[in-house]
């Protein structure tokens, strides 16, 4: 098992390298770059002096180098004008739009984004698991039909709309401040238990809103998986050995139906990150989503590339977690299909 | 004394307002300490009967009559009257009646160890500790013939061989010490030698544990070897019941006799097999007299295919050495000749067929195809030559359910080969489709229907018709009847014999069933672990086999004949002894046309 985990971790390295190259290429795909746009703007305003500064910046940030070299400098595999100062060295780059290092732009947002996504994934599973189970126990029953209706509703209602409605209720009933993940009182306060509690309270609504659509899909999936499993010969065989129904269900079909359910963690994360952008904008959440939107529009290369890479890392981590859980659940993954006896 | 007696058991499956009768007033007894065989073809209701006794019928099943369990452990108990979800039937399941399934791989959860699934049965019925349950499981694994019970306990089902898996299944059924064992086709998925071992095991367990066994099967060979009593079920009704000796000796019932005669036998080689119910189309092939003259003239005796020292190995999944699927296999097929290829699962038969179809490229050796006096290396064929080769060699798959596209009409299925090879216009294709459907004995109206509306046997006819579309010179049949009932198998085998007589093409007939191969083949090659160990004319092989493996196969093949029962004790002993052919790949010709791979010792022996 440990060997499997290590192998799986090592396999992430080439995946990350490939993804980072791809991201860098995609971000640079639109013609021109941030500085070229700025030059145009300065020239239209007739400011010659600014143009000279831009030329300096162009060299400073290696925009005059070929693509692969720029990538290597960004990644920290190749020395730039100031030696090695890329991702591998912990330098996240410079944001032109905010005129600050990327690290300062993002700051707390990274942690909050990870937190929001984690909370959402947990919520998806907390909702989908019991509901899916109950729906599968009595197909066509009250829970099944109710869950189906709710999931369609969750898919059909635009999430930002739902978010606003929920938020206004929450404000009216619980006195939660609208927008943001932190109350104004704690915005600049150092981390404390009270602040953490405040953040958690603010997390519930966005997490619920983002989770709802995914949870609907997951409920349907778990239900279908379970219904597939309950009629398999091995379940009948266990029943024929006199195993009680409750134990039978949890021990056999549930464990097997759980596998594809878990395998979805990896797929869930990226869709949550992209799906949460619009909710984050509407609710003014301090996540990386709105920043990514701004960075992409302004061709802020390093900022956009870094955020995308961060999303990719989240996804890979999710896949790693789901693979490890799968290996725990299913010996065939762990041992391969090799006969031992 | 009956451990289990079925009285007027009637079973209906309801769907909405309609009901289908699966069992109709079935009555018989399972005697204490005896093996009672319940025989019938698929759809006869025999498995439903087994499920009924266990209270495992689905919700829409309506059961009437009584199933009385009287094993001496409690007052007689009517199982049919118990609540299917209640505690009392749960105490019966596993505790008083054990159930063994046909396919042990799917009847075990793949994600739990074999041992945990066995011990669980013990703990479901007795309040014992984990350690005690484990000890009991180890004991029962030893009893069912596991060489290393502790290792078997911790193994996952997919890590075990088919035979061990079925032994584990039996162990799980016996873990809570039932008095009755219901075995539903327990050996159907197994190779013949393994089947014989499992039958020997059941017989031994019956004596050691005093079990009463209800053996559900379609195989009269198995019945003849092990059953004390016999019940024949046909379309939900009991046709015949009595002691096995009586039924085999003096049965007058036409259904039982037909079932017996439909079984291909090693002992009496016959021209045609008896068929039950369905039409027998001797005429169909006669209608197909217009075979092209070219084929006729070439059809006699000339060389067609030479397989020369072909080897192929597949890399092992992880670590370990690569497994040789084929090891220097040589085999020739003459024009119009029917060659049987026999071997157990994993012996490499299907890989050899795939090499012939050019779906697998051999690592070494070559396949020569003789056409108009010239030999072509099949591996080197390209473009039009390859297309021609593919027209000359056709393939029929084992599973007729999977081999036909359910969304293509039979007409489209049959004319597709013409479209692929760009042969004939629309009119010509229509004519050929009608010829082909006539040839395999199906009505022309079948052309406009779709595969799902046909039975297994009819589908196999369609698959054969498609294979014949391009008038091949070699037809490769990979277990074409092993998914079919005996009586349907008889029809298909007769059809194949007729077709060959009329059209004169060659067969490579692959099967694990010696009886079937003997029936259709002129010459038989026996494969074991990627090697051909013996090759001889069919008539000779079954009476003068020299290789110990061939002898073991023949000894283990059950016959539907009480006077030729399997010697289960000898088979069990042989299985534990094993043999080694010392890696001899060279076949020694001991008689004209009879070649044997002999261990070096044996060769010296033969020379001396």
Please say whether the dihedral angle defined by the alpha carbons of residues B189, B101, B170 and B72, taken in this order, is positive or negative: negative
- What pLDDT sits at residue B291? 43
List Cα–Cα distances, A12 to A76, A89, A315, A316, B468, in angstroms.
18, 19, 11, 7, 52
Nearest-angstrom CA–CA distance, B452 and B541: 40
- Report the C-alpha gap between B350 and B343 in whole angstroms: 10
* Residue A25 domain-assigned (yes or no): no
- Kindly determine whether residue B101 and residue A233, on different chains, have CB atoms separated by under 8 Å: yes
CA gap A121, A267 in Å, rounded: 11
State yes or no: pLDDT of A261 exceeds 80: no
Residue A47 lies in a domain: no
**CA distances in angstroms from B259 to A192, A260, B274, B472, B491, listed in the order given:** 83, 46, 8, 33, 12
Domain count, chain A: 1
The whole-angstrom separation of Cα B112 and Cα B99 is: 19
- Number of other residues whose CB lies within 10 A of the CB of residue B554: 17
On average, the pLDDT of chain B sits at 84
Report yes or no: B517 and B331 within 8 Å, Cβ to Cβ: no
Q: Please, which pLDDT band fits residue A337 given cuts at 50, 70 and 90?
A: very low
- pLDDT, residue A194, reads 81
Average pLDDT over residues B153-158: 88
Query: Among A138, A229, A241, A335, which would you mutate to test the B interface (most chain B Cβ atoms within 10 Å of its Cβ)?
Result: A241
Q: Which tokens go with B337?
A: 């000749």
Least confident of A43-52, B62-71, B500-509: A43-52
B chain contacts of residue A241, beta-carbon cutoff 8 Å:
93-94, 98-99, 117, 120-121, 124, 172-173, 175-176
Note the pLDDT of residue A269: 75
Bridge partner list, B534: B526, B596
Banded model confidence at residue B66, pLDDT cuts 50, 70, 90: very high
- Chain B contact set for A252 (CB, 8 A): 109, 112
CA of A255: which chain B residue's CA is closest? B111
B348 backbone φψ class: left, alpha, beta (φ>0; ψ -120 to 50): left
State the average pLDDT over residues A242-262: 82
ipTM of the complex in this document: 0.74
Which one is the CATH code of B282-300+334-361+384-544: 2.40.50.140, 3.40.50.300, 3.30.70.20, 3.40.50.1980? 3.40.50.300
Chain B CB contacts of A336 below 8 Å = 317-318
Give the mean model confidence (pLDDT) for residues A85-106: 81
Of B106, B113, B318, the CB nearest to A233: B106
| B159, A338 Cβ separation under 8 angstroms | yes
Confidence (pLDDT) at B283: 43
Minimum Cα–Cα distance from A234: chain B residue? B107
pLDDT at B317 over 60: no
Better-predicted residue by pLDDT, B354 or A59: B354
Q: Is the pLDDT at A276 greater than 80, yes or no? A: no
Candidate from A194-203, B275-284, B412-421 with smallest mean pLDDT? B275-284
Classify residue A142: in a domain, yes or no: yes
pLDDT band at B580 (very low <50, low <70, confident <90, very high): low
In angstroms, the first-to-last Cα distance of chain B is 59
φ, ψ dihedrals at A121, nearest 5°: -60, -45
Does A2 fall in a domain?
Answer: no
Which CATH number is A325's domain given?
1.10.3720.10
Query: How big is the A-B interface in CB pairs under 8 Å?
Result: 107
Reported confidence tier of residue B269, pLDDT bands at 50, 70, 90: low
pLDDT tens for A102-118 read: 888 887 788 888 888 88
Beta bridge partners, B490, equal none
Q: Is the pLDDT of residue B118 over 60?
A: yes
Task: Write out the residue range of the structural domain in which residue A258 sits.
Answer: 106-335
Max Cα-Cα span within chain A: 88
pLDDT at residue B575, as a whole number = 59
- Give the pLDDT confidence of B181-223 residue by residue, as tens digits: 999 988 887 888 888 888 988 998 999 899 999 999 888 888 8
pLDDT of residue B281: 46
If one compares B199 and A203, the residue with the highest pLDDT of the two is: B199
Residues of chain B with CATH 3.40.50.300: 282-300+334-361+384-544
Nearest residue in A to B103, CA atom: A233
Contact A234 B110 (CB under 8 A): yes
Residue B296 has pLDDT above 60, yes or no: no
- Whether B158 has its CB under 8 Å from any CB of chain A: the answer is yes
Find the mean pLDDT for residues B51-56: 90
A interface residues, B as partner, C-beta within 8 Å: 232-234, 236-245, 251-252, 255-256, 329-332, 335-341
For residue A63, tell me if it sits in a domain.
Answer: no
């Amino acid at each position: 098992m440990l060997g499997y985990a290590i192998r799986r971790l090592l396999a992430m390295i080439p995946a990350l390298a490939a993804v980072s190259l791809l991201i860098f290429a995609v971000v640079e795909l639109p013609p021109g770059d941030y500085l070229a746009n700025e030059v145009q703007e300065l020239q239209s305003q007739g400011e010659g002096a600014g143009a000279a500064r831009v030329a300096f910046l162009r060299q400073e940030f290696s925009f005059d180098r070929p693509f692969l070299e720029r990538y290597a400098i960004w990644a920290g595999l190749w020395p730039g004008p100031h030696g090695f100062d890329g991702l591998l060295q912990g330098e996240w780059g410079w944001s032109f739009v905010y005129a600050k290092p990327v690290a300062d732009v993002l700051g707390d947002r990274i942690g909050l984004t990870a937190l929001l996504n984690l909370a959402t994934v947990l919520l998806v599973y907390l909702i989908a698991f019991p509901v899916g189970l109950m729906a599968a126990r009595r197909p066509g029953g009250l829970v099944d039909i109710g869950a189906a209706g709710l999931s369609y509703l969750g898919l059909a209602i635009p999430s930002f709309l739902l978010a606003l409605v929920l938020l206004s209720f929450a404000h009216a009933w619980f006195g939660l401040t609208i927008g943001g993940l932190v109350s104004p009182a704690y915005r600049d306060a150092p981390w404390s238990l009270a602040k953490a509690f405040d953040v958690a309270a603010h997390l519930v609504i966005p997490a619920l809103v983002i989770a709802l659509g995914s949870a609907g899909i997951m409920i349907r999936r778990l239900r279908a998986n379970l219904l597939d499993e309950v009629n398999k010969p091995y379940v009948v065989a266990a029943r024929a050995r006199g195993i009680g129904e409750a134990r039978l269900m949890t021990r056999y079909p549930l464990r097997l139906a759980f596998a594809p359910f878990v395998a979805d963690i990896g797929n869930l994360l990226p869709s949550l990150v992209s799906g949460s952008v619009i909710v984050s904008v509407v609710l003014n959440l301090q996540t990386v989503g709105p920043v990514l939107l701004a960075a992409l529009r302004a061709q802020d290369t390093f900022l956009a590339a870094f955020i995308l890479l961060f999303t990719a890392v989240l996804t890979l981590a999710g896949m790693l977690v789901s693979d490890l859980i799968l290996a725990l659940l299913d010996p065939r993954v762990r041992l391969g299909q090799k006969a031992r006896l | 004394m009956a451990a289990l007696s079925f009285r007027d058991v009637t079973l209906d499956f309801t769907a909405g307002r309609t009901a289908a009768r699966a069992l109709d007033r079935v009555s018989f007894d399972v005697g204490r300490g005896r093996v009672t065989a319940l025989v019938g073809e698929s759809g006869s209701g025999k498995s439903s009967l087994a499920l009924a006794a266990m209270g495992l019928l689905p919700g829409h099943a309506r059961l009437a009559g009584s199933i009385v369990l009287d094993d001496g452990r409690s007052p007689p108990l009517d199982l049919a009257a118990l609540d299917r979800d209640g505690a009392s039937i749960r105490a019966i399941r596993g505790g008083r009646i054990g159930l063994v399934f046909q396919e042990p791989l799917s009847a075990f959860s793949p994600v739990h160890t074999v041992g945990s699934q066995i011990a669980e049965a013990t703990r479901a019925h007795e309040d014992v500790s984990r350690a005690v349950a484990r000890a009991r499981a180890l004991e029962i694994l030893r009893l069912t013939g596991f060489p290393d019970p502790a290792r078997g306990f911790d193994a996952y089902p997919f890590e075990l061989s088919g035979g061990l898996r079925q032994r584990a299944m039996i162990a799980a059924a016996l873990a809570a010490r039932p008095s009755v064992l219901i075995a539903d086709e327990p050996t159907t998925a197994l190779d013949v030698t393994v089947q014989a071992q499992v039958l020997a095991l059941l017989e031994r367990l019956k004596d050691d544990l005093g079990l009463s066994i209800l053996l559900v099967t379609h195989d009269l060979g198995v019945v003849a070897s092990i059953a004390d009593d016999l019940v024949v079920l046909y379309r939900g009704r009991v046709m015949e019941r009595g002691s096995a000796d009586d039924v085999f000796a003096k049965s007058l019932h036409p259904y039982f006799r037909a079932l017996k005669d439909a079984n291909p036998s090693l002992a009496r080689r016959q021209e045609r097999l008896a068929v039950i119910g369905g039409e027998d189309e001797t005429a169909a092939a006669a209608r197909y007299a217009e075979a092209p003259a070219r084929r006729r003239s070439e059809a006699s005796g000339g060389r067609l295919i030479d397989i020369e020292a072909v080897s192929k190995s597949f890399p092992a999944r992880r670590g370990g050495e690569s497994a040789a699927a084929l090891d220097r296999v040589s085999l020739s097929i003459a024009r119009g000749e029917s060659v049987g290829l026999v071997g157990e699962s994993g012996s490499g038969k299907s890989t050899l067929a795939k090499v012939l179809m050019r779906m697998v490229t051999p690592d070494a050796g070559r396949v020569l195809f003789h056409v108009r006096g010239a030999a072509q290396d099949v591996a080197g064929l390209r473009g039009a030559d390859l297309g021609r080769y593919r027209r000359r060699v056709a393939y029929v798959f084992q599973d007729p359910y999977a081999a036909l596209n359910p969304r293509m009409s039979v007409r489209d299925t049959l004319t597709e080969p013409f479209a692929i090879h760009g042969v004939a216009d629309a009119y010509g294709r229509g004519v050929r489709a009608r010829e082909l459907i006539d040839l395999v004995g199906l009505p022309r109206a079948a052309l406009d229907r779709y595969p799902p509306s046909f039975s297994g046997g009819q589908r196999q006819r369609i698959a054969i018709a498609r294979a014949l579309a391009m008038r091949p010179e070699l037809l490769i049949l990979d277990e074409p009847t092993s998914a079919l009932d005996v009586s349907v198998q008889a029809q298909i085998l007769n059809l194949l014999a007729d077709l060959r007589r009329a059209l004169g093409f060659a067969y490579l007939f692959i099967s694990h069933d010696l009886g079937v191969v003997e029936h259709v083949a002129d010459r038989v090659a026996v494969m074991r672990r990627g090697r051909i160990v013996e090759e001889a004319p069919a008539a000779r092989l079954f009476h003068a086999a020299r290789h110990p493996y061939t002898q073991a196969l023949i000894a283990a093949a059950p016959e539907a004949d009480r006077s030729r029962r399997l010697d289960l004790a000898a088979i069990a002993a042989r299985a534990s002894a094993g043999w080694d052919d010392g890696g001899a790949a060279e076949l020694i010709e001991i008689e004209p046309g009879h070649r044997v791979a002999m261990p070096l010792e044996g060769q010296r022996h033969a020379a001396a």
